[in-house]
Amino acid sequence: MLHGSPVVSAEESPVRVEAYAGARYPERPLRVEWQGVMREVIEIERQWQEPERRCFVLTLEGDTRLRLCYYFRHDAWSASELGGSAT
């Protein structure tokens, strides 16, 4: 599924995400449009769920690390870039 996103918080940017949807959406992100380019998810380092959102810390191709969150109520994704490298 491909979803767009309105701005959810001032610290995060709206992003488009292609995600795998098994028993629930989103089960795991596959690709993220970051800085105008659709990039593959290389690694999911961590994931967790809160009452209002499901979040992932992941690495995209090109070594970009993001905190990516899906907000259930808004059916929207947002992301913020993290420093450092996963490796």
Domain of residue 19, residue span: 2-82
37 belongs to a structural domain? yes
Per residue in 16-57, pLDDT (tens digit) is 999 999 888 889 999 999 999 999 999 999 999 999 999 999
87 belongs to a structural domain? no
Q: What does the pLDDT average to over 54-75?
A: 96
pTM given for the model = 0.82
Confidence of residue 86 (pLDDT cuts 50, 70, 90): low
Percent residues over pLDDT 90 in the chain: 72
Alpha carbon of 27 to those of 19, 20, 37, 62: distances in Å? 7, 6, 22, 23
56 belongs to a structural domain? yes
